[in-house]
Amino acid sequence: MKVPLSVVIITKNEEKRIKDCLESVCDWAEEIIVVDDESTDQTRQIVSSYTDQIFVRKMEIEGRHRNWAYAKAKYDWVLSLDADERMLPELKEEINQVLKSESGAVAFTIPRKNFIGDYWIRGAGLYPAAQLKLFRKDKFKWEEASVHPRALLDGQCAHLKNSMLHYTYRDFGDFLHKLNNQTTLEAMKWIEVYKTDTKKAEYKMNIIHALWRYGDRFIRAYFVKKGYCDGFIGFMVSLFASLYQIVSYCKYWEMRRKEVRGKR
């Protein structure tokens, strides 16, 4: 018997990964909804073998896009997945029991085993790295921000014990590709802040602050959060993650410079 739950999956050119994600929930959840960000590959064709609840919508602001997707759910409880995530039997059974109970919680975080290629990264803060994934749709929404939206929850959040699999990065190149995209969005966010609150932007986005955050992130990821336990992979993951702030600042500086030149 399937569980009365809506699984909502966000996709964008995920033909290589979406099938495994769908296979992990298709015999378990009553409803599967896929919101596709105008894929140009075979993503939607693959999805159509598993559900007819397919919506095509361009993602402009992540938080708003996800909230729009959750509003399509028929059931009160929603499990939010990305195409690179996989549910495991133990986790599905735990969710079955949670939905039957009266815990009082309106949302649950789920631990994730993050991978680069086929390697499970245990250190550098990437495990358990729990995220809020299961929630009542009337009690939760994301802040409508384009990068790192905040979770807005009306009620108690509890925590599940069993993990899902998260194939975060295909390889180091994929890690750098995602870092490039995320830092561009971060820089654009701070350009908008600069236009409305110049003092705040100048305080947060400057070379001294960026260098300090770079060093602090690396020390915390590699030493405090034991990235060194993952050997060379742990070192590279810690290094790449620490570059986030300084690369964001570099792009922000460049955007500011182009803006000033454009006004001349």
Pair 219, 124: CB distance under 8 Å: no
Look at residue 47 and tell me whether its pLDDT is greater than 90.
yes
pLDDT range class, residue 263, cuts 50, 70, 90: low
Instruction: Quote the CA–CA distance of 31 and 86 in Å, as a whole number.
Output: 16
Can you give the pLDDT at residue 260? Answer: 73
pLDDT range class, residue 102, cuts 50, 70, 90: confident
Can you give the pLDDT at residue 147? Answer: 76
pLDDT in tens, 57-96: 999 899 999 999 999 999 999 999 999 999 999 999 999 9
pLDDT in tens, 134-163: 999 999 999 997 777 899 999 999 999 999
Residue the block writes with tokens 């509890």: 158
Can you give the pLDDT at residue 264? Answer: 62
Listing DSSP states for 125-185 in one string gives T-SS--EEEEEETTTEEE-S-SSSPPEEESSEEEE-SS-EEEEEESSHHHHHHHHHHHHHH
pTM over 0.85: yes
pLDDT range class, residue 262, cuts 50, 70, 90: confident
Can you give the pLDDT at residue 231? Answer: 98
What is the chain's alpha carbon radius of gyration, rounded to the nearest angstrom? 20
More confident residue, 145 or 132: 132
Length of the chain: 264
CATH of domain 3-169: 3.90.550.10
Can you give the pLDDT at residue 145? Answer: 79
Can you give the pLDDT at residue 55? Answer: 98
Please, where in the chain does CATH 3.90.550.10 lie? 3-169
Look at residue 116 and tell me whether its pLDDT is greater than 90.
yes
Report in angstroms the alpha-carbon separations of 60 from 19, 64, 174.
25, 8, 22
Average model confidence (pLDDT) across the chain = 95
